[in-house]
Amino acid sequence: TVFVTSKGTTTVLLPDAKVIAIGTRTLVPSSGQGASTTQSDVVTFGLDQADAIKLINAQTTGSLYLALLSSDTASAAPTASS
């Protein structure tokens, strides 16, 4: 499940997003000596075009949070329209 928080409100953005891969990416700054590298977590989703657009728009306007839900709770997750 992908949640988005924007303007103090958190909603479910994609309740059934399929995760394809999770990994770590290392960013190396291009600015000379003494600059430190930064690591960030990367999640790859399998989405259709409409959901990909929702995710991209939400990422630019808010903060994204991910949750793994058990099969018992996945169908009970509230949606943004609820």
- Chain segment 46-68, per-residue pLDDT in tens: 999 999 999 999 999 999 999 88
Is 75 a residue whose pLDDT tops 80?
A: no
Of the candidates 10, 16, 24, which has an alpha carbon nearest to the alpha carbon of residue 47? 16
pTM above 0.75, yes or no: no
Mean pLDDT of the chain: 82
From first CA to last CA, the distance across the chain in angstroms is 15
Run of H or E residues at 65: strand 63-66
pLDDT on residue 65: 92
